[in-house]
Structure 1
Amino acid sequence: MKTAAVIVTHNSQAVLSRCLAALAAQTAPPVLTALIDSGSEDSGYMRARCQQPGFIVRCAENIGFSRANNIGWQAVRSEAEAVLFLNPDAFPAPESLELACAFLAANPAVGCVGGRLLGFDAASGQPTGLLDSTGVFRNWHGRWHDRDQGRPDCGQRSQREEVPAVCGAFLLARRTALEQTALPGGAVFDPAFFLYKEDIELCLRLRRAGWKIVYLPEVLAHHCRGWQQNRKAMPAWLRLTAARNEALLYRRHPSPYMLWAVLKYAAVRWLRI
Structure 2
Amino acid sequence: MSPQLAVVTVTYSPGEHLDRFVTSLASSLAGATDESVEIILADNGSTDGSPERAAQTYDNVRLLDTGANIGYGGAVNRAVAELDPSIEFVIVANPDVEWQPGAVAELLAAAQRWPRAGALGPVVRELDGSVYPSARSVPGLLSGAGHALLGTVWPSNPWTQSYRQENEALSERPVGWLSGSCLLLRRSAFDSVNGFDSRYFMYMEDVDLGDRLTKAGWHNIYVPTAEVVHAKGHAAGRHPELMLPAHHESAYRFQADRHPEWWQAPLRLALKAGLATRSRIAVRSALRDRATSEDVRGKGSNDDGR
TM-score of the superposition, structure 2-length normalised? Answer: 0.74
2:249 — aligned with what? 244
Q: Does 1:33 align with 2:39?
A: yes
1:164 — aligned with what? 176
- Are the counterparts in 2 of residues 81 and 174 from structure 1 also a CA contact under 8 Å? yes
2:290 — aligned with what? none
1:125 — aligned with what? none
- Are the counterparts in 2 of residues 111 and 177 from structure 1 also a CA contact under 8 Å? yes
Distance 2:226 2:268 in 1: 33
Q: Does 1:266 align with 2:268?
A: no
Query: What's the CA shift string for 1:146-191, capped at 9, x where partnerless?
Result: 8377x9xxxx732112110000111111111111111xxxxx1111
Distance 2:57 2:98 in 1: 23
Distance 1:107 1:48 in 2: 34
Distance 1:79 1:33 in 2: 15
Residue 43 of structure 1, aligned match among 27, 45, 49: 49
Q: 1:211 to 1:269 in 2, by over 3 A?
A: same
What is the correspondence of 1:71-82 to structure 2 with a 5 Å cutoff? 71-82=78-89
- CA shift for structure 1 position 115: 1.1
Amino acid across the alignment from 2:259 = P
2:4 — aligned with what? 2
Amino acid across the alignment from 2:130 = L
- Are the counterparts in 2 of residues 157 and 217 from structure 1 also a CA contact under 8 Å? no
Q: 1:93 to 1:241 in 2, by over 3 A?
A: same
Match of 1:219, SS state, is strand
Deviates more, 1:36-45 or 1:202-211: 36-45
Deviates more, 1:74-83 or 1:248-257: 248-257
Distance 1:98 1:248 in 2: 35
The gaps in structure 2 that reach 5 residues or longer are 149-159, 284-306
The gaps in structure 1 that reach 5 residues or longer are 121-127, 183-187
Amino acid across the alignment from 2:176 = P
- CA shift for structure 1 position 253: 2.9
Match of 1:75, SS state, is coil
Amino acid across the alignment from 1:221 = V
Amino acid across the alignment from 2:172 = R
Q: Does 1:254 align with 2:256?
A: no
What is the correspondence of 1:1-273 to structure 2 with a 5 Å cutoff? 1-26=3-28, 27=30, 28=32, 31-50=37-56, 52-59=58-65, 60-120=67-127, 128-137=128-137, 138=139, 141-142=143-144, 143=147, 147=164, 157-182=169-194, 188-226=195-233, 235-254=240-259, 261-269=271-279, 271=281
TM-score of the superposition, structure 1-length normalised? Answer: 0.82
Distance 1:23 1:236 in 2: 33
- CA shift for structure 1 position 194: 0.8
Larger radius of gyration: 2
Deviates more, 1:60-69 or 1:254-263: 254-263
Higher helix share: 2
Match of 2:178, SS state, is coil
Query: What's the CA shift string for 1:198-243, capped at 9, x where partnerless?
Result: 111111111110111111111100001248xxx9x86122111000
- CA shift for structure 1 position 94: 1.6
Query: Alignment RMSD, CA only?
Result: 3.0
